A and B are shown apart, each in its own frame.
Chain A
Amino acid sequence: MKYSAVSLLREGLKGNLGWKPVWREPVPKPVYDVIIVGGGGHGLATAYYLAKNHGITNVAVLEKGYLGSGNVGRNTTIVRANYLLEANEPFYSHSLKLWEGLEQELNFNAMMSQRGVINLFHSDGQRDAYARRGNAMRMHGEDADLLTREEVRAHVPFLDFDNPRFPIHGGLMQRRGGTARHDGVAWGYGRAADSRGVDLIQNCEVTGIRREGGRVTGVDTTRGFIGCGRLGLAAAGNSGRVAAMADLRLPIESQVLQAFVSEGIKPFIDQVVTFGAALFYLSQSDKGGLVFGGSLDFYNSYAQRGNLQTVEAVMEAACAMVPAISRVKVLRAWGGVMDMSMDGSPIIDKTPVEGLYLNAGWCYGGFKATPASGWCFAHLLATGEVHPLNAEMRLDRFARGYQIDELGLGAQANLH
């Protein structure tokens, strides 16, 4: 049923008893044209665009938990397209454009809010690096502005501009960046995919990948064998484990990243602001909670929980950037398992196994990429060809020496 103010009014008057389920709970068919492993944002978006852009609806999304139980429901909801490298920026730029029409496209309010993203810098060297990045964004037609210290102050007057250690010299701003309601994105894509005939199958964990003559024929799951023509992996932090079922080793380590939300307070900060002296990013949700996060815990982990020392390091950065935040209480911390690639950039590509396709390596930038990731992965699954937007995001780029290293940190997963 279509969502609108009218339907709210109508159902409200009828005691809200008439609302229909957002998606069916189908029994798995014996075989699908395409199976997508992972019912998170990327998997659901891929299913939606397979149906919408390519007319392929005999599709199943297999989710071991509940829909959106992975990183799409445990991130800091930041949406931006402020990348330096040609291999990345056009992809994220396309993603941002898809975000801008998402609610109307999905008939589901994911609360995409373009409140602007400001990356602070604290030295001449950082300013030059951001200038190089901002010019690259401009070259691709994205919006980017290099703000002076005073221009930053005009936007966010309560930052610690004269921090004794890291005074703020200015910032790089992307006005069209912002935040979205993470669960809403998963639910919106799920509902839209379901309405186009895609089977969303929850509580269905993949336990094996079957191959015949080097070609994928289907997957063994906790709900039995399910056949497929093509198999797409969008398992984020569990990519390595699923790929191993097809005897693949990936340039990926799974690591835990913590994020935090404060108790609800009246409007405190409008923009998304990131600190330049340490990895730290802050915004405020529509519900009033300050949403923020920092660095990884830096060790391999499949446990969705973090470490107190990392918590303290994040809070130190918070107070260094916004001294007033010291008097706000942090309500909840959670951990997501990040598929950290060896150069910090993702992989959307075929694999050496025929019929097996990979969407992984999102590090902690996966949320903003959700629409474009689905768009491009759907293209790959439908046509067997890599989409021009992710032409460089290849699995073999490391072996060939074509790594996409935005930060220039080298082949160590936890540095990205």
Chain B
Amino acid sequence: MSASRFAEGGRIDRSRALSFTFDGRRMGGFAGDTLASALLANGVMLMGRSFKYHRPRGLMSGGASEPNALVTVGEGSRREPNLRASMVDLHDGLVAESQNRWPSLGFDLGAVNQVLSPFIGAGFYYKTFMWPAALWEKLYEPVIRRAAGLGRATHERDSARYDKRWAHCDLLVIGAGPAGLMAALVAARAGARVIVCDEAAAPGGRLLADRVVIGDTDGPGFADAALGELSGFPKVRVMPRTTVFGWYDSGVFGAVERLDPGKGGATERVWRIVARRAVLATGAEERPIAFGNNDLPGIMTASLVRGLAHSMAIRPGNRVAVFTTGSSGHETARDLAALGVDVAAIVDSRTHVPEGDRAASQGLQVLSGHVVADARGRGVLTGIETIDRASGRRARIEVDALAVSGGFNPVIHLACHRGDKPVWDGGRGMFLPPAARDGLAAAGSAGGVLDLSGCLASGAKAGRDALESLGFPSAHTDIPTVRDAVGGSPGFATLWHVTEAKGKAFVDHQNDVTVEDLGLAVREGYGHVELAKRYTTNGMATDQGKTSNVVAIGILSEARGLTPDQVGTTTFRPFYTPVLIGALAGPHTGPHYRPVRRSPLHAWAEKRGAVFIEAGPWLRVSHFPALGETGWKDACDRETLAVRKTVGLSDASTLGKIDVSGDAAAAFLDLVYTGIMSTLPVGKARYGLMLREDGLVMDDGTVSRFAQDHFVITTTTAAAGEVMAHLEFCAQALWPEMDVNLVSVTDQWAQITVAGPRARDVVARVVADDVSEANFPFLAARPVTLHSGLEGRLFRISFSGELGFELAVPARHGEAVADALMAAGDPFGIVPYGLEALNVLRIEKGFLTHAEIDGRMTPDDLGLSRMVSGKKADFIGRALLGRDGMQREGRIQMVGLVPLDPAGRILAGGHLLNPGASPSMANDQGHVSSSCWSPHLNSTVALAFLKHGRSRLGETIVVWDALRGLETSARIVDPIFLKEVPANPPPLRSHPPVLATADGRSSVIDGLTTGSEKVTRLGILPDAPIGLLIGPGASHSQLELIAAGGDGVARKVAPGQVLAVGKPGEPFGTFAGRLADGLPKRCRLVDLSDGRVRLCLDGERIADVLASQTGIDMGADMVQEGFSQPTLFGHVPGQLTLLAGGVVEILVFSTYARDLAQALRHTIELAEADWAQVKIPGSG
């Protein structure tokens, strides 16, 4: 005896048969089925096993709250455990499997735990498994862990794809039942932007589940009409299969949409919905009653039984009883009887059953004042034992299904996600949502209104109230009349559990928490609702207590002699229902976890076979392997030797470059560096040290002065972002009165280092200016012209300790200039070198990186106290650098180490011990920060930090590295290992000049994929000059006016900062000339033509693509042609501009261009697969 399918009826499509398997058994269902309804139709009542006692379980409450029918769906990399069978839409070929049973669902050895139940009640594990201590990890815990958990997750990489999108609306309606649909209709008709989310595949809620007559149609008819009308409004979006899982601050809601993976797009999409107002129309869950063996398969909530019968044509059983405390049970009985099901009895705990309910169940046996004490059956329900509470007489009724109703719990979770507590309504025996707040209000059953016409009315009112508060004209909406809805009064009596029960009475079905367990918690002092939850685990299962929390509160209140509101609820938190971690990560996985920055010389290095390594956001060249080399070290040695012997070339483009201008620029730099920069002559560079306000070193770099009021400073690659933000803070928040402009020009310039004795010869062949020692001495920094006519900047600085130049040219020319320099160096045997060689070169000279500047160092620790000016009254960090602890004796100081045995190994991370000292923190003398093999000294050399270091030169110290089994005696030496002044030989007989001519952006857009031609196109706009207008000389509106002189569109970045774009093909000079006329004093136009790439999107559905990238509301009124704002695209910064013809321009930082283009392409693919999907009825 079990469930089956009625010959006709339901909303399933009997013309579309589907085939699926459950535990290997092949079965059939229909389109429109859920896995749960299909299993019932096949007579499968047993769907799972419980967590602790492994009791047989069947479908209980259905929908999102289902605690029992958890299954694993899918295979291999798509395997997903713990899905509620009631929420899985059946599709052809679906593979499902039961969980937490062995060897089989029917025969599960775990069921032995039921015998042990007296000894393994709530919290038993806190009281045992302690002796002997050693056995915990070895025996007890492994056994517990194997027993725990439900489904088994795969360890395979998830092959599904996920998407993420923003949405913005005036009104978000959560739940498309009667109340939600009315609220949406009211708002839609008033012209508001509306989003309706419903977690079911078919929106309608109880309209599809109950037998009702609304106006001149039935529930489904009303729902279809409403959805049809909504689909006609362009500003309305109805999203079925979409669960709103959380309410966050500032009106942000998180939602997850389940898509059809068959289309090759995303399987799920997470939405961040920004809603000005929201209506919570999530309905109510029917409340179970705790009686003996109330967990047997065949026992379901009354509204589930009713809903399955109507919408899925499921006959719950052949002989059905109803156990109710209110009208829902009578309604179910009425409907089953009407469908020809044998209704054995309606057991109603109330002694006085209201007339309306009696009318509903007319002609059926109503046992008023009775309760069901125990259910009977082995593995499946076969009967119930009722008790007449007046006489105490027990009676048996043979049934194979029982519909239970203990009243209703409004679904109020979301309303409580931001800290508000539910409100107990003693009269109605329900926890109601907290007072409406921050634009969210409950309607319909979620607000405690249980009758249909009440729901329709309250939905309409909620919609109207929301709109009025937003200033929309309120349109009157008729509330359709309802006949024949709920049997009678929608009220119910409160009955938490049946005290006469003999068998186990379950409260939390999934975690096997019983009425007894809660009693034990109270006896042991865990009576507080939070402690009881944590001690018994009630409400901590995958259903988060949707069917058990309120019952538990009721039982606790009885046990403690309190009212439910005195007991209070546990905290409601996201997620309303479990959400796939992958869906929340969205597209930001694998290569797109974080964006990659690529130097303008990236493609150039790729062509030369470079090996790249991660360096923060960048991919940088590790080394350039040559034929016959066995590893990075061979290459590193070769590159290092070449630089010292003749000449080498490397890429310095990743260094942070900041353009600093303004009348107060020099004074500003004096405040942020430890040294004095205002005395720096124009055309010269100086080494600079920056402290944090706490007096410790933040970063080092160079400062070059190009004019009285114009500097360019460099930062380390690692600290570039931190330093820029710090300087912006200083300029904007600390000294806003100073006239100083900061512009990052890192992306604008390709910067190439040429180092080695022959560097000058090489540079001289490419640069037209006189670069002789006399004319271009150490620390010279000046604009230069290349033989090719190209303008650049040349710096006579060196991070290798050799004669060195850094040549900066606009990024697009980087590759050509690098090639030219390589050609120019060919006669000298120039080699390109990477980070590994650079690291050796700088260690040999005792230069610093962030391996030394580790955030705990004072200038003196680094041996740089000479760089701290004593003359200045103030600079960042000056005051706190004076603290005792920063100046104390015995701080660690940077020294060099050379192993006594040249072959001895010293690795960074080793600690220092005095010879003979035993290893202990007390004896710790310091640590090694960097080390390398010096091919010049034929020895390992290392930079280290040692207590009193500088006074211990010549002594011997032990490098203790137990982690790697090394203990190496070393001599303490000056950190400059190579003392020789850099060779600076006279130029050789002059070689002919080399012209760097090639043009274009190939190095930047190389590998950029453009989008499909179908709907949305991704492309690159014609190359045009780009300049940033800055300066206090003009008002912002003036700057915008001037900028518009470029291509007609002013791109506002910030107050006093506007991007201007010239005409395609126009040289920057011409462009600057055109704008110069209008340019007031003290305003500058900074060339960023190479610092940005102009990507574009055109075609249809651009808004959908952008919604996956940025939080900007593209539907807002202000977003018209000419709209321009800076924003993040995923994790990538850029400027979004609406050009004529609906074309969207994205000015992306050029070092991010390739990454963003790939991300946009990925998004377009997902979106187009989505558009290809069959449109769901009613979806906007």
Contact = CB atoms under 8 A, between A and B. Distances in A.
Contact of B581 (A268, A319, A332): A319
Contact of B118 (A13, A90, A114, A265): A13
A262 interface: yes
A400 B516 CA distance: 59
Contact of B585 (A123, A131, A318, A397): A318
A16 B520 contact: yes
Interface stretch (B738-746, B907-915, B1080-1088): B907-915
19 contacts: A16-B121, A109-B130, A165-B614, A263-B82, A264-B541, A266-B150, A284-B145, A305-B418, A308-B246, A308-B252, A311-B254, A312-B588, A316-B588, A319-B589, A324-B158, A327-B580, A402-B884, A402-B885, A408-B855
A3 B248 contact: no
Nearest to A269: B155
Contact of B911 (A111, A136, A164, A287): A136
A262 B158 CA distance: 16
Contacts of B131: 4, 104
Nearest to B691: A410
A349 interface: no
B694 A329 contact: no
B585 A263 contact: no
Interface string B399-429: 0000000000000000001110000000000
Interface string B512-551: 0000100010011110101100110100111010000000
Contacts of B141: 111, 113, 286
Interface of A: 3-5, 7-9, 12-13, 15-17, 19-23, 25, 66-69, 73, 86, 89-90, 101, 103-104, 107-115, 122-123, 125, 127-136, 138-140, 144-146, 157-158, 160, 163-167, 181, 183-184, 187-188, 202, 262-268, 277, 284, 286-288, 303-305, 307-308, 311-312, 315-320, 323-334, 397, 399-403, 405, 407-411
A324 B156 contact: yes
A316 B1160 CA distance: 18
Nearest to B695: A401
Contacts of A399: 883
B419 A114 contact: no
A128 B885 contact: no
Contact of A139 (B137, B155, B541, B919): B919
Contact of A288 (B77, B150, B588, B613): B150
Contacts of A400: 883-885
Interface in B827-873: 850-851, 854-856
Contacts of B929: 128
B127 A3 contact: yes
Given A4-B128, A139-B921, A165-B594, 4 more contacts: A13-B118, A108-B126, A164-B593, A316-B586
B527 to A, nearest CB: 9
Contact of A109 (B77, B121, B127, B613): B127
Contacts of A139: 911, 919-921, 923-924, 960, 962
A187 B126 contact: yes
Contacts of B581: 262, 315, 318-319, 325-330
A115 B856 CA distance: 33
Given A109-B129, A323-B158, A164 B590 contact: yes
A8 B162 CA distance: 49
A51 B530 CA distance: 28
Contacts of B150: 263-266, 288
Contacts of B571: 304, 334
Contact of B578 (A104, A308, A331): A331
Contacts of A303: 419
Interface in B912-962: 919-924, 927-930, 960-962
A8 B124 contact: yes
B160 interface: yes
B979 to A, nearest CB: 26
B909 A135 contact: yes
B613 A123 contact: yes
Given A108-B126, A146-B964, A410-B692, A131 B907 contact: yes
B525 A25 contact: yes
Contacts of B158: 319, 323-324, 326-327
Give 6 nearest A-B pairs by CB, closest first: A408-B855, A131-B909, A401-B883, A401-B885, A288-B149, A326-B582
A221 to B, nearest CB: 19
A258 to B, nearest CB: 10
B160 to A, nearest CB: 7
A66 to B, nearest CB: 5
A411 B588 contact: no
A410 B722 CA distance: 12
A163 B590 contact: yes
Contacts of A67: 531
Central interface residue in B525, B581, B855, B927, by most chain A CB within 10 Å: B581
Contacts of B119: 8-9, 12
Contacts of B584: 311-312, 315, 330
A264 B589 CA distance: 24
A103 B690 CA distance: 51
Nearest to A268: B153
A134 B927 CA distance: 12
B81 interface: yes
B637 interface: no
Contacts of B591: 164-165
A361 B50 CA distance: 43
B593 A327 contact: no
A268 B148 CA distance: 11
Contacts of B419: 303-305
Nearest to B920: A139
Contacts of A402: 884-885
Contact of B593 (A25, A115, A140, A166): A166
A3 B531 CA distance: 19
A67 B855 CA distance: 39
A265 B149 contact: yes
A324 B153 contact: yes
Contact of B909 (A5, A12, A132, A286): A132
Interface string B483-513: 0000000000000000000000000000000
Contacts of B160: 326-327
Nearest to A89: B921
B909 A329 contact: no
A162 B613 CA distance: 13
B963 A16 contact: no
Central interface residue in B129, B156, B525, by most chain A CB within 10 Å: B525
B910 A131 contact: yes
A324 B581 CA distance: 10
A173 to B, nearest CB: 11
A295 to B, nearest CB: 14
A135 B960 contact: yes
Contact of A329 (B79, B82, B136, B919): B82
A403 B880 CA distance: 12
Contacts of B961: 131, 135
Contacts of A334: 571, 573
B417 A264 contact: no
B575 interface: yes
Given A86-B924, A318-B581, A401-B880, A103 B692 contact: no
A327 B153 contact: yes
A311 B417 CA distance: 15
A287 B537 contact: yes
A363 B420 CA distance: 26
Interface string B960-976: 11111000000000000
Given A22-B524, A129-B909, A328 B692 contact: no
Contacts of A410: 692, 694, 696, 698, 855
Nearest to A285: B148
Interface in B148-199: 148-158, 160, 162, 164
B1098 interface: no
A327 B154 contact: yes
Nearest to A342: B694
